[in-house]
A and B are shown apart, each in its own frame.
Chain A
Amino acid sequence: MPQIPMAAEGPLLTLDDLSIVFSSPDEADIVAVRQVDLTLRRGKTLALVGESGCGKSVTARAILRILDKSAAIPSGQIIFSPDDAEPVDIATLNPDSIAMRTIRGNRISMIFQEPMSSLSPVHTIGDQIDEMIILHERVTPKQARERTIALLDQVGIPGPRERADAYPFQLSGGLRQRAMIAMALSCNPDLLIADEPTTALDVTTQAQILDLLRQLQDDYGMAMLFITHDLGVVAEIADDVAVMYLGDVVEQGDVFDVFATPQHPYTRALMSSIPKMQRKAERERLQPIQGTVPSPKDRPQGCSFSSRCPVAFEPCAKVRPDPTRTGKQHRTRCHLIERELKPGEVIV
């Protein structure tokens, strides 16, 4: 047995204090993501939850460096440590460099929210998957197509040999999302990023796709970053969960820990609202707290949640809280916790 290199021990991917800024010629800069810390364990699933617009997709795209040209990463690190290679800080790579392109699609791949428009309308499903295999591996087009057919079969597409020659508009939404998944898995990635992969699908198909993803994760042993705004889905699929609010990750921990003993006031509000959210439409929006999420432009200088937090106190609006360990693998960004951990101090 070959010796396991050092890298195989720590986390697969660590995001450390990441921020992402969009600039445009005629508007002020938008700090879409301000402080993101995430830790992805090998072979595990981390669910990233948060209301729409809080920066989940932007974070995911930053990991693959496929953000628009107008986006920059002014601070933070994205450390990727695959089993068999040196750790690399993705945030410092040039997006179009060979180093980044050998990671993208090959070691980290992604599936998207819109199965309808995420595949090219003028290329067959097979062509689009073959292309990815040929790009990253030394295979002939024929071998690539055989692998494509096997993948389509594995993700549960009936008649895979014929379907490989179909165009996306000839398939249903569910089948298209399955084809996307087949494509994302085609090079055996270490990490699969799934950005709300079931949001655009109907409920039955949603459940099938979730089952499929869980099944495939067992088979392939990859880690998964699963983005969703549906807490029900989190409980079903995740090992860890990270809660995001307005560009900040406010809490990350083991899924049982976080669900049982949520620490951050925002997470608590989310959890306590679960039983009340019976109708799907309500759950979709995930907006259980009084008031609306401000836009990144009106983000408070200190804790991003301070404009809506029921227990906000003196330093909250001005000073950003640091992450505090609140358990094994459990970290929270909130002044309340910091204070509680320092006995003797009085809250003014």
Chain B
Amino acid sequence: MLGFIISRLISMVLTIWAISLVAFAIIQLPPGDYLTTYVATLSASGDRVDPRVIEALREQYGLGQPFIVQYWKWVSGIVTAGDFGQSFEWGRPVTELIWGRLGNSILLEGLAVIVMWFVALPIGVYAAVNKYSLGDYLATIFGFLGLAIPNFLFALVLMYLGYAWFGVVMGGLFSPQFEGAHWSFARVLDFLSNAWAPVLVLATAGTAQLIRVMRANLLDELRKPYVTTARAKGLPEWRVILKYPVRVALNPLVSTIGWLLPTLVSSSVIVSVVMNLPTAGPMLLRSLTTQDMYLAGTLILLLGVLTVIGTLISDLILAWIDPRIRYGGE
């Protein structure tokens, strides 16, 4: 087990390094750089720009340097000083900008994941155990709707209904008076009263998918002979189901925890824009369009790191709950 963890940690470091390289390469792929975009915006609004000023800026930011030099500066800054570089657009260090945003993302999407699992697993189990029952059909219909309705549309509908029926303006994660405040009980309540709508929107598609996966996994397991053996012991039916096939059917789901986060971040971009949520998604989108390279690179890198850590955690959980993996069996 220890050897397993060590080898996983080594490959984790290598993966993260590869992600940083690729992330940096990708954000440099589009022609031009931040200043080109900047000049374009300025001239679009009719301002005249002195080319010499631009050249000086380019020098100052190190934008003229070769790729590998820029990359090296960035990475050595991160490793030695935790310095992720400057955001051109905001004129502030990247570290000052991102933590709050990433924190909101993780909080919001973490909540969405919890809601997903708590709603989807019991429904999936019910649907599999009562295959072709009314409840199963309802779960299937909900599943199709949840998958078919785009997130942003659902968000818009929810906001419209909230306004039309209750006069509530949805958007943001905090009421103005709590925006910059420290965490307190009142602030948590305020957060929850705002966050339920985005969490609901974010969790819907995932819930629908998870119900289908759980139902399919469990249907496979329910057919297996060990379930009959458990039944033949004289256990009550609910204990047979929960202790044996559900337990085995959960294993493949655990391995999906790792890549839930990046999926959610990317799928939540539009929702975050629509509902005006201060999360990482819109910031990443904007930094990519303006070629704010250190900000974009850092966000991609950190999402990669989170994914790698998530995968490691889900692998460890999997090894812990499934002896076949722990002991290297079939």
Q: Are both chains from one complex?
A: yes
Chain B interface, DSSP helix/strand/loop, else mixed: helix
Q: Report if A243 contacts B (CB, 8 A).
A: no
Q: Which residues of chain B are near A95, meaning CB under 8 Å?
A: 237
* Residues in A neighbouring B225, C-beta threshold 8 A: 112-114, 117-118
Known A64-B232, A101-B236, A136-B234: A119·B324 in contact at CB below 8 Å: no
Q: Which chain B positions have C-beta within 8 A of A295? A: none
**A202 within 8 Å of B by Cβ?**
no
Binds B, one of A81-89, A102-110, A228-236, A278-286: A102-110
Nearest residue in A to B129 (C-beta to C-beta)? A69
Indicate whether A132 sits within 8 Å of B233 (C-beta atoms), given known contacts A122-B248, A122-B321. yes
Q: Which residues of B contact A124 (CB under 8 A)?
A: 323
CB contacts under 8 Å to A, within B230-268, are: 230-237, 244, 247-248, 251
**Are A121 and B248 neighbours in the complex by a CB distance under 8 Å?**
yes
Shortest CB-to-CB span from B133 to chain A, Å, is: 10
Q: A103-B234, A105-B233, A122-B247 are in contact. Are A66 and B228 (CB under 8 A)?
A: yes
Which residues of B in the span 312-330 have a Cβ within 8 Å of any Cβ on A? 321-324, 327, 329-330
- Contact partner of B322 among A117, A122, A170, CB < 8 A? A122
- Smallest Cβ distance from B76 to chain A, in angstroms? 47
Bound together, the chains give a CA A60 to CA B213 distance in angstroms of 33
Neighbouring A residues of B48 by C-beta, 8 Å:
none
Contact A112 B234 (CB under 8 A): no
Indicate whether A135 reaches chain B with its CB closer than 8 angstroms: yes
Q: Which of B247, B251, B324 contacts A167 (CB 8 A)?
A: B324
Q: Indicate which residue in B228, B231, B237, B327 contacts A170 across the interface (CB closer than 8 Å).
A: B327
Residue interface mask A175-187, B partner, CB < 8 A = 1: 0000010010000
Task: Say whether B226 faces chain A, with CB atoms less than 8 Å apart.
Answer: yes
Q: Are A170 and B329 in contact (CB under 8 A)?
A: yes
In the complex, whether B132 has a CB less than 8 A from a CB of chain A is yes
On chain A, the number of residues with a Cβ less than 8 Å from chain B's Cβ atoms is 34
Q: In the bound complex, what is the Cα–Cα distance between A117 and B233 (angstroms)?
A: 16
Evaluate contact between A169 and B329: CB separation under 8 angstroms: yes
Residues of chain B contacted by A180 (CB below 8 angstroms): 229
The answer to the question of A218 belonging to the interface, with a C-beta cut-off of 8 Å to chain B, is no
- Is B248's CB under 8 angstroms from A120's CB? yes
Residues 110-165 of A at the B interface (beta carbon under 8 Å): 110, 112-114, 117-124, 131-132, 135-136
The 0/1 profile, CB within 8 Å of A marked 1, for residues 212-234 of chain B is: 00000000000011101111111
Question: Which A residues are in CB contact (< 8 Å) with B234?
Answer: 101-106, 132, 135-136
Within 8 Å of chain B (Cβ to Cβ): is A291?
Answer: no
A298 interfacial by beta-carbon distance below 8 Å = no
Interface: A314 (CB within 8 A):
no
Q: How far is the CA of A118 from the CA of B233 in the complex (A)?
A: 12
* A170: B residues at CB distance < 8 A: 327, 329
CA distance A101 to B236 in the complex (A): 7
Task: Assess whether A96 is interfacial by the CB under 8 Å rule.
Answer: yes
Q: Which of A202-222 contact B (CB under 8 A)?
A: none
Q: Tell me the complex Cα distance, A120–B251, Å.
A: 14
- A135 B323 Cβ-Cβ under 8 A: no
- Is A25 interfacial (CB 8 A cutoff)? yes
CB <8 Å contact, A118 and B322: no
Contacts of B251 in A (CB 8 A): 122
Distance between Cα atoms of A45 and B54 in the complex (Å)? 97
Chain B, 273-328, CB within 8 A of any chain A CB: 321-324, 327
In whole angstroms, how far apart are the Cα atoms of A231 and B149 in the complex?
61
Bound Cα distance from A286 to B1, whole angstroms:
50
Are B233 and A121 in contact, with the CB atoms below 8 A?
Answer: no
Q: Is there an interface contact between B233 and A167, defined as CB atoms closer than 8 Å?
A: no
- Are A104 and B232 in contact (CB-based, < 8 A)? yes
A104-B321 CB under 8 A given contacts A117-B226, A118-B226: no
In angstroms, how far is the closest chain B Cβ from the Cβ of A281? 24
Q: What residues of chain A lie closer than 8 Å to B244, measured between beta carbons?
A: 120, 123
Query: Please, which residue of chain B has its CB at the minimum distance from the CB of A187?
Result: B234
Do A117 and B235 touch across chains, with their CB atoms under 8 A apart? no
Contact in complex: B248, A110 (CB < 8 Å): no
Q: Which of A56-82 contact B (CB under 8 A)?
A: 61, 64, 66
Distance (whole angstroms) from the CB of B251 to the closest CB of chain A? 8
Interface string of B142-156 (1 = CB under 8 A from A): 000000000000000
CA A87 to CA B4, docked complex, whole Å = 58
A104 touching B233 in the complex, CB below 8 Å, given contacts A117-B226, A122-B323, A169-B324: yes
Verify B237–A119 contact, CB threshold 8 A: no
Of listed B229, B236, B322, residue having the most chain A CB within 10 A = B229
Q: Which residue of B lies closest to A101 (CB)?
A: B234
Tell me which residues across on chain B come within 8 A of A118, comparing CB atoms.
Answer: 225-226, 228-229
Q: Which residues of B contact A112 (CB under 8 A)?
A: 225, 228-229
Given the complex, which residues of A lie within 8 Å of B230, measured CB to CB? 120
A136 to chain B: which residues have CB within 8 Å?
A: 234
User: With A167-B323, A167-B327 known to touch, is A101 a contact of B235 (CB < 8 Å)?
Assistant: yes
- CB pair B232–A109 under 8 Å, yes or no, is yes
**Cβ contacts under 8 Å, B236 to chain A:** 96, 101
The minimal Cβ–Cβ distance linking B136 to chain A, given in whole angstroms, is 11
CB of A66 within 8 A of CB of B232, answer yes
Distance between Cα atoms of A117 and B323 in the complex (Å) = 15
Least CB separation from A112: chain B residue:
B225
- Whether A117 touches B224, Cβ cut-off 8 Å, given contacts A25-B132, A64-B232, A105-B234, is yes
19 residue pairs of the A-B complex, CB under 8 angstroms, read A64-B232, A66-B232, A95-B237, A103-B234, A104-B231, A112-B225, A118-B226, A120-B244, A120-B247, A121-B323, A121-B324, A122-B247, A122-B321, A122-B322, A131-B235, A132-B233, A135-B234, A169-B324, A169-B327
Given A25-B132, A66-B231, A132-B234, list of 10 further CB < 8 A pairs? A66-B228, A66-B232, A105-B235, A113-B225, A118-B225, A118-B229, A119-B229, A120-B229, A121-B226, A169-B323
Residues of B in contact with A (beta carbons under 8 Å apart): 132, 224-226, 228-237, 244, 247-248, 251, 321-324, 327, 329-330
Residues of A within 8 A of B (CB): 25, 61, 64, 66, 95-96, 101-106, 109-110, 112-114, 117-124, 131-132, 135-136, 167, 169-170, 180, 183
